[in-house]
Amino acid sequence: MSREPKKVQWTRAETPKKAGRYVVAIEHECGLGAYDFSYWSPLDGWEIKDQSGKIVAFIDFDDVAELLPYAWEDEA
């Protein structure tokens, strides 16, 4: 079954509006950047607490997962 790919974009903000799993972009004080995964909740904030950097953008993990091909589909 073919799926229409969904476009995903980074949301440049410190926190999302809803709890969930996210792919995050972290900007470190030295100027380097990194990607990671983190859960966010309105009560506890981000699950990862990286003292050397700050989360500057995020993408809902479910949106990213929808872009991946099904692992059980034939490649024929």
Q: pLDDT tens digits for 2-36? A: 566 678 899 999 899 999 999 999 999 898 999 99
Quote the pLDDT of residue 74. 67
Looking at the 3D structure of the chain, how many domains does it have?
1
What digits encode the pLDDT tens for the residues 27-74?
998 989 999 999 999 999 999 886 788 999 999 999 998 888 877 776
Whole-angstrom distance between the N-terminal and C-terminal Cα of the chain? 12
**Which pTM value belongs to this model?**
0.79
**Within-domain flag for 1:** no
- Owning domain of residue 54: 20-65
**Within-domain flag for 28:** yes
Quote the pLDDT of residue 67. 86
Residues in Cβ contact with 5 at an 8 Å cutoff, skipping those fewer than 6 apart: 67
Quote the pLDDT of residue 59. 97
